[in-house]
């Protein structure tokens, strides 16, 4: 009845979802008996029969009143609040939720049954829901693989605690297993975001410092995009992590040398050196990584895949080619300015997940994990007999590669889920787990390393000569222009300090004279903030401020609905943040000057 | 009669609460509160039998008993939404009309 109209709206407003729906429509399941019954209020109630169970998804008396009562229990009051809802139903409950939403809210709907979704779009007018840009829609077996990454992008540490989680009545009884998956994705997202927040808090300032220090290497560096076309995609990429199982099969890796591309994550480099294996690349990520945790070899020459803010202890002791795989916005703008091929890649939270992301982005069709335990082996945490010293970690238990249960840590658990989410989005990539132990990573094929080498390592490859043949990304003239870009940044810092001081003064004047107009001040502060945010140096300032004031930023998202109180909280936190912006300028200025001096010579 | 009126008013409040709980998926709490509602409804039926010597409320008693059977069936099927619907729209209506009739004398 409404099928054509709904499809047309899907096509118009949700093109990718429309494409997926059309592709999968013919193979949709047929396990449910779905029908609608008239209600006393002359609407329709949705009824689903599954395994001899009859579940009505709406009141057959007054569905709107039922939905209103149901929605009354949820309060959406904070800025950027995200509502995560399990089940689309016939739209009656969704509409009640929408009626409570403001423009900055987002409603993420996870529909666990494609079969039910098809029935709904055939029998109910869903036009308004489809075209509402505040709604994201995920349908199991259609596009649910995008659900975790959207959660990660929208439900961050800033608004995590303003989240509203709800289940469409009846869906909990019909789709119990899917509900578990849905809830697990939300819990995993909370884990990942809290880890990300901790990392930003712990390392925010260090990241700014490293970025500025590492800028001195810009005349010689290349990026992964410079080597993208030169690396054959059919050769296996072996990622060697330093999990305790690495000791079992590290020597087998020798057979892969020259027939696969070996990526050693920083900590595993030392183990490989002990076994006379030279990897093709070393991957490093951590802003504070020590050389002793990356081979402990001064002047090492193996090509280094690094972020622009990787630890200077590693960067400064490395004499080979540095290959950038990620950077913050400040550096990314330089690549954009000179029209260099550069895309920021999502790396996950660990160096191993970053190595995986690099391999995926380089387009390898066969990616092999070695030493990727993501679990304890007895009480060992890493190869080389290292034991846990992370007393604050939470123990969790997951399935291992043999189907038993194995102990893991909350950070490894987050990495495990990060892999699984990524793999689920890579239907054309063959991901093999040749760790021979540790946690089971869903979506990988489990194989012993020797078997992998015999089956896949059949072609010779000389990575060294490929890398040595590359010219730096920027030529000498471009480096001169980059110098000017940095000089402009120095000028911006002075301007930002003036603006931030103006904001602080205005906030102070308001504080001592409460009769002043709060709305006027809000406008003034917003104008100053917008001017600062447009400056090219701002991404570094932002990183510094997040690293030092995440709690104040978090508080800016909470509102009480009492205008006076909200103003007071917002102004108080804004004042703190502007002070931090001035601190950031004072912190960045000498580092930037030093780098510019070094670049000149 | 005054006591019956009080029971009915109190029952209506309880029905509102139970309905709210079931519509909001708070089934555990809903079932606990439902015990009070069932007790009150049984009490209403008993009181009517005791007080309604002229059988003015015969019709209402029959409807109420029949609705209680429907509610019991919904309860057995764990269909909390239907249970809430019956309570909110049907049973509440019947006890409203009982209240009206006894107030009229």
pLDDT per residue as tens digits for the range A341-375: 888 777 667 899 999 999 999 999 999 999 999 99
pLDDT value at residue B105: 63
| Nearest residue, CB atoms, A61 vs list B20, B79, B89 | B89
Average pLDDT of A47-75? 92
pLDDT value at residue A560: 60
pLDDT per residue as tens digits for the range A496-551: 999 999 999 988 888 777 777 777 888 888 899 889 999 999 999 988 988 776 66
pLDDT at residue A385 greater than cutoff 80: no
**Interface residue A40 vs chain B (CB under 8 A):** yes
Provide the 3-class DSSP secondary structure of residue A12: helix
Helices (H), A15-143: 15-24, 63-72, 92-100, 114-123, 127-130
Average pLDDT of A57-63? 93
Residue A57: partners with Cβ closer than 8 Å, 6 or more residues away: A45, A46, A47, A48, A87, A89, A90, A168, A169, A170, A171
DSSP A243-266: -TTHHHHGGGGGGGBTTBEEEEEH
**At which residue do the structure tokens 């779905």 appear?**
A34
pLDDT value at residue A512: 79
Is there a contact between A265 and A242 (Cβ–Cβ < 8 Å)?
yes
Tell me if B81 and A56 make a contact (CB, 8 A cut-off). yes
Residue predicted with more confidence, A187 or A126: A126
Tell me if A169 and B89 make a contact (CB, 8 A cut-off). no
Is there a contact between A257 and A281 (Cβ–Cβ < 8 Å)?
no
C-alpha span between A387 and A374 (Å, rounded): 14
Residues of B in contact with A176 (CB under 8 A): none
**Nearest CA distance, B52 vs chain A (angstrom):** 31
B57 falls in which pLDDT band (50, 70, 90)? Answer: confident
**Interface residue A38 vs chain B (CB under 8 A):** no
DSSP A31: -
Average pLDDT of A575-598? 93
Is there a contact between B81 and B22 (Cβ–Cβ < 8 Å)?
yes
Residue A587: partners with Cβ closer than 8 Å, 6 or more residues away: A205, A208, A209, A544
Q: Which of B18, B21, B25 to mutate to test the interface with A (most CBs of A within 10 A)?
A: B25
Q: Which of A64, A68, A70 to mutate to test the interface with B (most CBs of B within 10 A)?
A: A70
Q: Which of B24, B84, B90, B91 to mutate to test the interface with A (most CBs of A within 10 A)?
A: B24
Give chain B's contact residues with A (Cβ, < 8 Å): 19-20, 23-26, 77, 79, 81-82, 84-85, 88-89
Integer CA distances (angstroms), A457 to A256, A257, A280, A499, in order = 6, 9, 15, 59
| Nearest residue, CB atoms, B25 vs list A54, A56, A169 | A169
**Nearest CA distance, B78 vs chain A (angstrom):** 10
Tell me if A58 and B88 make a contact (CB, 8 A cut-off). no
Average pLDDT of A199-222? 89
Average pLDDT of A207-227? 95
DSSP β-bridge partners for residue A50:
A53
pLDDT value at residue A145: 79
- Of A117, A132, A173, nearest to A9 (Cα)? A132
Is there a contact between A433 and A401 (Cβ–Cβ < 8 Å)?
yes
| Nearest residue, CB atoms, A60 vs list B23, B85, B88 | B85
Average pLDDT of B25-51? 88
DSSP A358-419: HHHHTT-SEEEEES---S-BTTEEETTTEE---TTPPEEEEEBTTSSEEEEEHHHHHHHHHH
Tell me if A69 and B23 make a contact (CB, 8 A cut-off). yes
| Nearest residue, CB atoms, A59 vs list B25, B77, B85 | B85
**Nearest CA distance, A169 vs chain B (angstrom):** 7
Average pLDDT of A256-268? 95
Provide the 3-class DSSP secondary structure of residue A136: strand
DSSP B86: I
pLDDT value at residue A469: 93
Average pLDDT of A579-595? 95
Token readout for B55 is 């059988």
pLDDT value at residue B56: 75
DSSP A217: G
| Nearest residue, CB atoms, B85 vs list A61, A72, A73 | A61
Average pLDDT of A81-87? 94
> What percent of chain A has pLDDT above 90?
65
**Interface residue A167 vs chain B (CB under 8 A):** yes
A215 falls in which pLDDT band (50, 70, 90)? Answer: very high
State which residue of chain B sits closest to A62, comparing Cα positions: B85
pLDDT value at residue A585: 96
pLDDT value at residue A389: 59
Average pLDDT of A558-569? 68
pLDDT value at residue A559: 60
Q: Which of A39, A52, A61, A62 to mutate to test the interface with B (most CBs of B within 10 A)?
A: A61
**Nearest CA distance, A167 vs chain B (angstrom):** 9
Q: Which of A66, A89, A174 to mutate to test the interface with B (most CBs of B within 10 A)?
A: A66
pLDDT per residue as tens digits for the range A25-43: 888 888 899 999 999 999 9
DSSP A321-349: -EEEEE--HHHHHHHHHTT---------S
pLDDT per residue as tens digits for the range B95-104: 999 888 888 7
pLDDT value at residue A552: 66
A210 falls in which pLDDT band (50, 70, 90)? Answer: very high
Mean pLDDT of all residues in chain B?
A: 88
pLDDT value at residue A438: 95
Token readout for A510 is 């308001």
C-alpha span between A92 and A172 (Å, rounded): 17
A392 falls in which pLDDT band (50, 70, 90)? Answer: low
pLDDT value at residue B52: 72
Token readout for A219 is 């005349």
**Interface residue A399 vs chain B (CB under 8 A):** no
Residue A215: partners with Cβ closer than 8 Å, 6 or more residues away: A308, A331, A486, A595, A599
Is there a contact between A367 and A431 (Cβ–Cβ < 8 Å)?
yes
Tell me if B25 and A167 make a contact (CB, 8 A cut-off). yes
Per-residue exposure over A458-471, b if at least 16 CB sit within 10 Å of its own CB, e if not: eeebebbebbeeee
pLDDT at residue A108 greater than cutoff 70: yes
Residues of B in contact with A61 (CB under 8 A): 85, 88-89
Average pLDDT of B14-25? 93
Tell me if B25 and A172 make a contact (CB, 8 A cut-off). yes
| pTM listed for this prediction | 0.68
DSSP A318: B
State which residue of chain A sits closest to B27, comparing Cα positions: A169
pLDDT at residue B29 greater than cutoff 80: yes
- Of A98, A145, A97, A139, nearest to A120 (Cα)? A139
pLDDT value at residue A574: 85
C-alpha span between A518 and A571 (Å, rounded): 9
Is there a contact between A343 and A325 (Cβ–Cβ < 8 Å)?
no
Provide the 3-class DSSP secondary structure of residue B69: helix
pLDDT value at residue A553: 65
Average pLDDT of A462-489? 94
Residue predicted with more confidence, A1 or A316: A316
C-alpha span between A599 and B10 (Å, rounded): 83
pLDDT value at residue A211: 95
Is there a contact between A354 and A420 (Cβ–Cβ < 8 Å)?
no
Average pLDDT of A40-59? 91
Residues of B in contact with A169 (CB under 8 A): 23, 25, 81
C-alpha span between A468 and A544 (Å, rounded): 36
pLDDT at residue A594 greater than cutoff 70: yes
Tell me if A70 and B85 make a contact (CB, 8 A cut-off). no
Which is it for the CA torsion A132, A133, A134, A139, positive or negative? Answer: positive
State which residue of chain A sits closest to B78, comparing Cα positions: A55
Average pLDDT of A448-460? 96
Q: What are phi and psi of A432, to 5 degrees?
A: -115, 135
> What percent of chain A has pLDDT above 70?
94
pLDDT value at residue A550: 67
**Nearest CA distance, A247 vs chain B (angstrom):** 52
pLDDT at residue A582 greater than cutoff 90: yes
Write the ipTM. Answer: 0.78
| Nearest residue, CB atoms, A59 vs list B24, B77, B81 | B81
Mean pLDDT of all residues in chain A?
A: 90
């Amino acid at each position: 009845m409404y099928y054509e109209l709904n499809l047309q709206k899907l096509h118009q407003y949700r093109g990718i979802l429309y494409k997926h729906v059309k592709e999968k429509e013919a193979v949709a399941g047929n396990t449910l008996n779905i029908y609608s019954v008239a209600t006393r209020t002359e609407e329709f109630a949705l009824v689903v029969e599954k395994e001899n169970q009859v579940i009505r998804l709406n009141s057959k008396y007054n569905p709107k009143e039922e939905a209103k009562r149901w929605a009354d229990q949820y309060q959406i009051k904070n800025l950027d609040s995200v509502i995560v809802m399990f089940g689309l139903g016939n739209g009656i409950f969704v509409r009640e939720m929408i009626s409570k939403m403001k423009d900055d809210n987002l409603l993420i709907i996870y529909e666990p049954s494609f079969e039910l979704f098809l029935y709904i779009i055939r029998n109910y007018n869903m036009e308004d829901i489809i075209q509402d840009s505040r709604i994201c829609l995920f349908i199991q077996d259609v596009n649910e693989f995008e659900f975790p990454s959207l959660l990660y992008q929208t439900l961050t540490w800033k608004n995590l605690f303003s989240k509203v989680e709800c289940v469409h009545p009846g869906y909990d009884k019909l789709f119990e297993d899917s509900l578990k998956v849905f809830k697990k994705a939300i819990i995993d997202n909370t884990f990942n975001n809290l880890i990300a927040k901790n990392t930003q808090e712990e390392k925010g300032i260090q990241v700014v410092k490293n970025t500025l220090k590492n800028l001195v290497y810009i005349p010689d560096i290349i990026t992964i995009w410079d080597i993208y076309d030169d690396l054959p995609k059919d050769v296996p990429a072996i990622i060697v992590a330093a999990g305790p199982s690495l000791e079992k099969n590290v020597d087998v890796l020798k057979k892969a040398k020259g027939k696969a591309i070996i990526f050693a994550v920083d900590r595993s480099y030392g183990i490989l050196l002990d076994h006379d294996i030279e990897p093709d690349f070393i991957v490093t990520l951590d802003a504070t990584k020590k050389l002793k945790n990356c081979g402990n070899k001064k002047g090492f020459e193996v090509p280094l895949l690094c972020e622009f803010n990787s630890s200077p202890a590693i960067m400064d002791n490395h004499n080979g080619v540095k290959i950038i795989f990620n950077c913050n916005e400040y550096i990314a703008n330089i690549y954009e300015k000179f029209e260099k091929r550069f895309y920021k890649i999502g790396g996950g939270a660990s160096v191993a997940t970053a190595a995986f992301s690099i391999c995926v982005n380089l387009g390898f069709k066969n990616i092999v994990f070695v030493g990727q335990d993501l679990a304890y082996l007895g009480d060992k945490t890493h190869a080389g007999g290292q034991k846990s010293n992370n007393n604050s970690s939470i123990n969790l238990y997951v399935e291992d590669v043999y189907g038993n249960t194995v102990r893991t840590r909350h950070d490894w658990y987050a990495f495990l889920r990060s892999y699984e989410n990524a793999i689920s989005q890579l239907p054309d990539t063959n991901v093999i787990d040749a760790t021979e132990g540790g946690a089971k990573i869903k979506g990988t094929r489990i194989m012993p390393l020797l078997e992998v080498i015999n089956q896949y390592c059949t072609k010779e490859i000389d990575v060294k000569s490929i890398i040595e043949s590359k010219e730096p990304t920027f030529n000498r003239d471009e480096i001169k222009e980059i110098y000017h870009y940095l000089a402009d940044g120095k000028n911006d810092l002075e301007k930002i300090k003036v603006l931030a001081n103006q904001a602080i003064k205005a906030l102070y004047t308001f504080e001592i004279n409460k009769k002043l107009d709060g709305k006027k001040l809000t406008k003034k502060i917003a104008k100053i903030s917008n001017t600062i945010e447009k400056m090219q140096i701002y991404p570094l300032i932002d990183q510094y401020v997040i690293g030092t004031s995440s709690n104040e930023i978090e508080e800016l998202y909470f509102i009480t609905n009492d205008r006076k109180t909200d103003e007071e909280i917002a102004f108080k936190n804004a004042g703190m943040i502007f002070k931090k912006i001035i601190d950031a300028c004072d912190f960045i200025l000498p580092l930037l000057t030093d780098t510019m001096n070094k670049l000149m010579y | 009669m005054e006591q019956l009126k009080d029971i009915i008013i109190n029952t209506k409040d309880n029905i509102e609460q139970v309905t709210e709980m079931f519509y909001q998926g708070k089934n555990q709490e809903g079932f606990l509160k439902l015990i009070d509602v069932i007790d009150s409804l049984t009490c209403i039926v008993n009181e009517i039998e005791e007080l309604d010597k002229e059988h003015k409320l015969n019709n209402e008693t029959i409807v109420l008993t029949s609705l209680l059977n429907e509610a019991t069936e919904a309860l057995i099927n764990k269909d909390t939404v239907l249970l809430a619907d019956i309570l909110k729209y049907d049973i509440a209506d019947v006890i409203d009309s009982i209240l009206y009739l006894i107030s009229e004398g």
